[in-house]
Amino acid sequence: MVKRRVSLFGATGSIGQSTVDLLKRHADKFEVVTVAANSRATELAKIAIDLSAQRAIVCDESTIADLRYALSGKNIEVSGGENALLEAASEKVDLVIMAISGAAGLRATFAAAETGADLALANKESIVCAGNLLMRKLQASRARLLPVDSEHNALFQILDGRDQSALQKVTLTASGGPFRNWSAEKIAAATPEDALAHPVWNMGEKISIDCATLINKGLELIEAQHIFALKPEQLDVLVHPQSTVHAFVSYSDGSVLAQMAKPDMRVAISACLSWPQRLASGVESLDLAKLQSLTFEQPDLQKFPCLKLVRSVMQQGGALPCILNAANEIAVSAFLRKAIGFNDIYRIIAATLENTQTQSLQKAFVALEDVLQTDRESRRIAASLLPYSEANLQRAIA
Ligand code: NDP
Ligand code: MG
């Protein structure tokens, strides 16, 4: 059997580790070309050895020496720096798994999209910032986009090339995050530790905070809009604390099709690794008789204003999603450093959107460089709002 040649970017992260687990289970089916991370060189070296990868890359050049040391005598090529990362992403393989977190993954995602390889995309920020451009790039290279995000993977499985003319509505489910049952007062005082304690999923820090503010679900609406060519009004969110139904599609004849699975990212990743075949993922099937109940409720937009904000940004489109994403990344990292409070995340994003004077906010980007420039500029504006006291921030908004 011919092995599929795969490269894994963001190998040391949460999605990366789940992917490593699957690649190890199915070592007879995959040949690993590149594994890459940012700076966790020792962890990356272990992954490279476990997967018999041909090459390991750290983006942060200051950690190359550690990587080289950890891989000495292993016959695994070692390199570092963004250029090395982009060169590896540009190498044609059969499947690229893109699991870098944040807009830091934009260039590598675009480089991989140009090769025409199947692209298993976890890096939702690339689609949020540059959805139109990325979809065009994938079309031009005839690359197949395989969504890793569990809701989008669910939709991909449900739609599976079916005619979408009778599709009325697509609903993404949200667990509701750690603060679903918290009062607004308690949420205002939430710490990073509180916000990182997700009730269902075990994820990287940035997306965990995004789940606590519910902005993650908003980013996912934009993600679905681009991947499945949907109108904003066709997209909806319901809170479903059991995280068993990941998404569902409503058709004009009254049918609703849903995808269900235990909340384990290996289900979605394994579908990406082998679609349209299925791979044993190590995740048990659902025992429906044991499921006590599945509940669905409307999200509380008062307590979680970020979701409302993204909806309006999605409607307006243009550069706004990229600005929102950049401000969110700055605010989340400041919150994790305890430089700001939980509700300041929303305030910083709203203030950045208000303070951005881009002439052509509504205009679609024409090149990746435009996206990167908007990302940089929006980060600068968001960062200029830090650090501050509550009063300073209010002044900045006003
Ligand atoms: P983690 O923070 O756990 O991992 C991020 C990975 O990206 C690490 O391998 C990190 O390397 C690497 N990385 C960060 N910056 C760079 C850079 N500049 N160059 C190269 N590599 C870099 O994130 P997650 O795995 O949780 O999330 C990854 C992506 O998947 C995100 O876009 C997220 O939104 C999406 N996603 C995640 C889900 C999950 O369950 N975790 C679910 C759905 C989507 P290092 O370790 O060296 O820092
Ligand atoms: Mg998701």
Whether the per-residue pLDDT at 226 is higher than 70: the answer is yes
Output the pLDDT for position 362.
66
Q: How far is the CA of 221 from the centre of ligand 2 (A)?
A: 10
Ligand 1 atom closest to Cα of 104?
18
Closest CA to 269 of 96, 116, 153, 138: 153
> Which ligand sits closest to the CA of 154?
2
Is the pLDDT at 298 greater than 80? The verdict is yes
The closest of 88, 86, 109 to 98, measured between CA atoms, is: 109
Of all protein residues, the one whose alpha carbon is nearest to atom 15 of ligand 1 is 38
Separation of first and last alpha carbons in the chain = 64
Mean pLDDT value across residues 231-243: 97
Please provide the size of the chain in residues: 398
Ligand 1 pocket test, pick from 85, 100, 119 with the greatest ligand atom count within 8 Å of Cβ, gives 100
Predicted TM-score (pTM) above 0.85: yes
pLDDT, mean of residues 9-23: 98
Q: Are 343 and 188 in contact (CB under 8 A)?
A: yes
* Residue ID of nearest Cα to ligand 1 atom 12: 10
Region 68-85: mean pLDDT is: 98
Cite the DSSP H helix spans in the chain. 14-25, 41-50, 64-70, 82-90, 106-115, 124-141, 150-159, 184-188, 192-196, 205-213, 215-227, 265-274, 305-316, 320-336, 342-355, 368-384, 390-397
CA nearest ligand 1 atom 40, residue: 203
pLDDT of 388 over the 90 cut: no
Q: What pLDDT score does 398 carry? A: 46
Backbone φ and ψ of 300, nearest 5°: -90, 100
Q: pLDDT class for 198, splitting at 50, 70, 90?
A: confident
Give exposure, 300-320, as e/b (b: 16+ Cβ within 10 Å): eeeebbbbebbbebbeebbbb
Q: Residue 264: how many CA atoms within 13 Å on its side-chain side?
A: 16
Q: What's the average model confidence in pLDDT over 203-211? A: 96
| Whether residue 287 has pLDDT greater than 80 | yes
CA 44 to chain centre: 20
What is the per-residue pLDDT for 361?
Answer: 67
Per-residue pLDDT tens over the stretch 17-70: 999 999 999 999 999 999 999 999 999 999 999 999 999 999 999 999 999 999
Q: What is the mean pLDDT of residues 243-265?
A: 97
pLDDT at position 391 over 60: no
Q: Which residues pair with 120 in a beta bridge?
A: 97, 146
pLDDT of residue 364: 79
DSSP 30: E
Mean pLDDT for the chain? 95
Taking only the tens place, the pLDDT of each residue in 122-159 is 999 999 999 999 999 999 999 999 999 999 999 999 99
pLDDT tens, position by position, 327-357: 999 999 999 999 999 999 999 999 999 988 6
Give SS3 for 211.
helix
Interval 277-292 mean pLDDT: 94
**In sequence order, what are the residues at sequence separation of 6 or more whose Cβ sits closer than 8 angstroms to the Cβ of residue 342?**
187, 188, 189, 190, 191, 195, 212, 213, 335
Residues 168/251, Cβ–Cβ less than 8 Å: yes
Q: Which residues line ligand 1 (CB under 6 A)?
A: 10-16, 36-40, 59, 85, 99-101, 104, 122-125, 149, 201, 203-207, 265
Residue at token pair 């579908």: 271
